[in-house]
Structure 1
Amino acid sequence: MCKNNFPLYVTSEIGKLKTVLLHRPGKEIENLTPNLLERLLFDDIPYLKIAQQEHDAFAKILKDHNVEVLYLEDLAAESIVEKNIRENLIEDFLVEGKISGEGIKEALKKYFEGFNHKELIEKMMMGVRKKEISNVKMRSLADAVNRDYPFLLDPMPNLYFTRDPFATIGTGITLNHMRTETRNRETLFAKYIFENHPRFKDTDVKIWFNRHEESSLEGGDELVLSDKVIAIGISERTDAVSIEKFAKNIFRDGQSFETILAFNIPKKRAFMHLDTVFTMVDYDKFTIHPEIEGPLQVFSIKKSEENQLRIQEENATLEDILKKYLGLKDVTLIGCAGRDKIDAAREQWNDGSNTLAIAPGEVIVYARNYVTNRILQEYGIKTHIMPSSELSRGRGGPRCMSMPLVREKL
């Protein structure tokens, strides 16, 4: 726990990590098929057995460094022990799963009754194949259509990237509205956890952005650079208007943050989120994808009178912008794979710039990005190297797979 035993506290990217939320990949991965990859935002199908072994190695690194590791599936199950809460989650889940046929809805509710709380959460994550339920009564046109599609409820294979559905900032969270329907269902688990889990329900967890907003915001675009500065990507997955809504809410609350830096990054899959191309590894050192080192549009957002926002485009290099707002004399941008055009492109595809800091100058990285890892070490960064042959197929790195809940204040 952090100061005053508050269950959430994150005011930096690099403060010593105390508590983190993970999701161990489950059978939702085995419900991926080639025909569903685009729909479910995957480029390939990981081999679950090896992916779980790799994820366990990731968790072991964290635990070996005295980080409390919590699992999404456990917290969600512990949040629905009361009958009415469990029933509400099922109802919400079916609505957001686009289950409109009354016969199918009735059959799914009855099917879910047979699971205990943990099994129910895992089944929701896994998805429901049509062949699992044979007694659907056709009560409407909606019950009869789409007979060739193999699922009644789609699997949720992106869940092991716990960074995106919500983000801890200060003593609150952004409960995000995801860009795609495929991932927006994931945020339901966070909603029920923060409203009902004994660890959180009686605390004042502030919501800086809500999942019912119409514009999108995703956690991979949200970086807490210091207790004064937050960076957010305007990206393929996060809208500029969402950043303004978030800024107004967090400034209004009186948190310590004074500036939000909005990075306008290319809108393509290889640059999916800001943390795909830029992460903080030490007080004055950052990993970066060479392709965003050229002219990069950055806006500073500050609070002005009457809770309005003062927005200004920063006409300076990225190094100078970071020095200015973080109060640094020097900034080192460590290019993925040393900026080599071939090595950088290959390792960036495998999230070479996506690191998870567990303390200042100490990060977890993928083994396969060996060129970038060697360069980080040459800059004095301590690297904890984890296996990554299967987890990397989901297009996310160690930062993507983790949601810090508590970090020590720098």
Structure 2
Amino acid sequence: MPPTDNQGSFLNRISIRRNQVAYEHEFEDLEQFQKHVADRLSELFHPQDHQDTTANVDPPEALFSIGWFRKLLDIFLCCEAEFKALVIMGRDASNFSKSPLDRLFPEHLDRTVKALDICTALNHGIELLLHWQKLAQIAVDSLQQRPVTEGHVKRAKKALNTLLASIFIDDKENHHHTGKSAPAPASSKDHETIGNLKSLSYLFAKSWSASKQIQAMSSNLAAPRGGEPTGLVVPVYLMSSILVFVMWAMVAAIPCQERTGLGAHLQLSKQFAWAQPMIGLQDKIGEDWKKKEKKGRSGLLEETQRLEKLGMGLVEFAEGFTYPVEADKAEDMAAKVAEMGEICRRMEDGSVPLQLQVRELFHRIVRSRAEALDVLDQVNKIATPVPY
């Protein structure tokens, strides 16, 4: 029996109510996602403000240290998982056929392809960091001998010269640095070692540029306009923004091929709460990068900068070495060696887990992109007329 007008009206009201409840639930999920991103980035920007002083926990990591970048990647992986659950999984494909998502979502997927190249470059950059750590450890082991003899000092100097020359090569390639160079090893074997280290940064063709890759990812990244519907537009913009930001920050820290002008590539909207801590971090990284770029230093990673500074000081000690060592020089040398040893320990403990995170990020992007492409494939099937 067909429904009466009253029955139809009642069913319509139920349908409207269900749609309203679904909309309200989705709106709450979107708001929660944005809040989670804002909270995580704020904790990263002000770690001391979020530290529980009553708990027996480790102190917050120093800004731009290996530990800090590991936390940055943790945050991204958490956000990526929430984004996929909110935007992709179980979503009606017809949502992505409507403007402006029909344009914004494919653009986001295009950014993920570029991010895969950057992940590969970062992986090789971390290999270079591990080589630098091993060279520094050779110097530490040599200079910790008692008594320190001329043979120990020569071995340490050789390792440090190779380390500093490798850092200088990376600077020269990335920043066209023309200042004072690090001491260069004399033997052909040492030159071969530097060439091998240099090759770790050159996985791609010489025309490939990490800086240009970041610029391409951010070139069409624009905040939703006031007239555009909210819905899924905001989380897609959010995820693209944090993807570009994380790739940019990692490239600024880890040796990557061609990073000239990296500090001027990001333009983020200020209209969202989650953007405020991201912009604060961007300003800090950009400011520090421009300072380091002028000096030709090899990235913002704290451990690398300290290795370079300590290495130069210890080479200076080695060049003026006489046996027996004067007490004040021995004390200064021992302090520098102890600090370098601590940096080596931190690099050894943190670099491999950081590399594993970068690889996990690579595979996560691949999987999520495949799932998103499945959704877009459904959109294409919807838009394709059925032949009769």
**With structure 1 as the length reference, what TM-score do the two structures score?**
0.23
Greater strand share, structure number: 1
Question: Whose radius of gyration is greater, 1 or 2?
Answer: 2
Greater helix share, structure number: 2
**With structure 2 as the length reference, what TM-score do the two structures score?**
0.24
